Amino acid sequence: MKTVELRTPLDDKQISNLESGDKVFLSGEIYTARDAAHKRLVELIENGGELPFDLKGAVIYYVGPAPARPGQVMNSAGPTTSYRMDVFTPLLLEHGLKGTIGKGPRSIRVRESMVENRGVYFAAVGGAAAGIASSVRQAEVIAYDDLGPEAIRRLVVERMPLFVVNDTKGNDLFEQGVAEYRRED
């Protein structure tokens, strides 16, 4: 386990160096999307439409932030549960997506797709939403404003604290962690 400073967009070289359990400070542009936005993104890809942001090397953060107060860059913005995006994620990885940020484990299919397409999954601490907001320097809605909290936002983050859960070698921090601390009754 090591601590790594990462800056987006991510490339295969940066990603291959990551291992499950690593602590990462992520900086640069990332995009927010959750259930409703994923449905639209995947429909766009399937219909050959143009996406609202470039997927190549991109990182998607599964979050629907609380609305910002006047003068506030970002209100509380912790991760949402990732499995709900599992059905959409492999297609996005095939189109260049490199990283996803959420909480909770991913499906076998997503994990396999991360190995095949060289992608990683990061965990942010769920419920630590006020603290996470402090690493967001800029935020703007770039698509699907009608979805309210589920709109796609471009965020500029500075040293956002994350843990690598799934690396490109197929490791899974959930499985490793639970195996270590499980006890028989």
147 binds other proteins (CB under 8 A): yes
**Catalytic residue among 10, 32, 33, 38, which?**
38
| Residues 1/89/48/11 CA torsion (nearest 10 deg) | 0
Q: Is position 130 an interface residue for other proteins (rule: CB under 8 A)?
A: yes
Residue 58 · residue 9 · CB < 8 Å:
yes
CB nearer to other proteins: give 55 or 122.
122
Q: Indicate which single residue of 12, 81, 108, 142 sits in contact with other proteins (rule: CB under 8 A).
A: 81
90 binds other proteins (CB under 8 A): no
Is 105 a binding residue for other proteins by CB under 8 A? The answer is yes
- Using CB under 8 A, count the residues that bind other proteins: 48
57 binds other proteins (CB under 8 A): no
- Does 4 help bind other proteins (rule: CB under 8 A)? no
- Which residues are at the interface with other proteins (CB under 8 A)? 21, 36, 63-69, 75-78, 80-81, 83, 103-105, 123, 125-131, 133-134, 147-150, 161, 163, 165, 173-174, 176-185
